[in-house]
Amino acid sequence: MNHLIAPSILAADFANLQRDIELINNSEADWVHVDIMDGVFVPNISFGFPVVKAVNKHAKKPLDVHLMIVEPDRYLKNFKEAGAAGITVHYEVCPNLHRTIQYIKELGCRAGVALNPHTPVALLEDIIADLDMVLIMSVNPGFGGQRFIEHTYKKLKDIKALSGRHNPGLLIEVDGGVDEKNIAKLVEAGANVLVAGNSVFSAADPAAAIAYLKKPVASPGL
């Protein structure tokens, strides 16, 4: 499959959110990436259910909700009701991850697990068959516009190899510092869903930036 592009609305203009959602609607983007931050798991607070609902009212593409919050189980149903098509929780805050994943699936959402830059891919070995998606963080979560961490390529190759053994249809998302310079190498390393915040919304022409990121990469795979 060609890779998917998920622009992150964390980098959108919150005073013109409807305009920026419509920009995504009219672009080649596949999903809308929605970052939820609680000020506890990460040192920043983004927005909550009313904003997600408002985004969903205008979005014509699936909402890819990335929960950077502690105790995510408490809020999964609320995010489903707010319009989430997919929900990704962080490995680092889920002591009963298998139960959390089953719950997300019971709600009818695509279930994802995110790994911080320091969290080894190998920790997913006994859960990977149950997942729809793994999100590899390529920055420390909490802020847009940070510098891409180069070690991400190795983690993508590792998760691609693990998915080959246990879950060949796995979606592999990479989030943080994705731009027109590193996208080909990321896809070659195994990423098939690419989140892009600042490289889209800081561009002079965001729709053109999305189209550029969406261009097929010559030789994906390991």
Q: Does 176 bind ligand DX5 (CB under 6 A)?
A: yes
CA distance 109 to 138: 24
Which of 30, 35, 38, 132 is flagged as catalytic? Answer: 35
Q: Kindly state whether residue 48 participates in binding ligand DX5, applying the rule CB under 6 A.
A: no
Among the listed ranges 104-112, 154-162, 170-178, 185-193, the one in contact with ligand DX5 (CB under 6 A) is 170-178
Q: Which of 37, 175, 182, 183 binds Zn ion (CB under 5 A)?
A: 175
Smallest distance, Zn ion to C-beta of residue 112, A: 11
Helix (H) or strand (E) holding 82: helix 76-82
Closest CA to 42 of 99, 101, 98, 93: 93
Near ligand DX5 by CB under 6 A: residue from 4, 5, 11, 23: 11
Of 84, 93, 183, 196, the one binding ligand DX5 by CB under 6 A: 196
User: How many helices (DSSP H) and strands (DSSP E) are in the chain?
Assistant: 8, 8
CA distance 111 to 100: 9
Query: Which of 61, 66, 110, 160 is in the footprint of Zn ion by CB under 5 A?
Result: 66
| Residue of 20, 64, 132, 175 marked active site | 175
Phi, psi of 152 (to 5 degrees): -55, -35
Position 2: which residue type?
N
Residue 10 lies near ligand DX5 (rule: CB under 6 A): yes
* Token reading at 15: 């005073």
What is each CA distance from 59 to 24, 53, 73, 96, 118, in whole angstroms?
8, 10, 25, 32, 33
Size of the site for Zn ion (CB under 5 A): 3
Is 175 annotated as catalytic?
yes
Residue whose CB is less far from ligand DX5, 3 or 66: 66
How far apart are CB 166 and Zn ion at their closest, in Å? 24
Q: Based on the residue annotation, tell me whether 73 is a catalytic residue of this protein.
A: no
Cβ(9)–Cβ(200) below 8 Å: no
> Minimal CB distance to ligand DX5: which residue?
197
Taking the C-alpha atoms of residue 156 and residue 164, their distance in angstroms, rounded to an integer, is: 12
User: Is residue 35 at the binding interface for Zn ion, with CB under 5 A as the rule?
Assistant: yes
173 binds Zn ion (CB under 5 A): no
CA-nearest of 211, 119, 139, 131 to 171 is: 131
The backbone torsions φ and ψ at residue 86, rounded to the nearest 5 degrees and listed phi first, read -135, 145
Residue number of the CB closest to Zn ion reads 66
Which residues are tagged catalytic? 35, 175
Give the binding site for Zn ion (CB under 5 A).
35, 66, 175
Give the binding site for ligand DX5 (CB under 6 A).
8, 10-11, 33, 35, 66, 139, 141-146, 175-178, 195-199
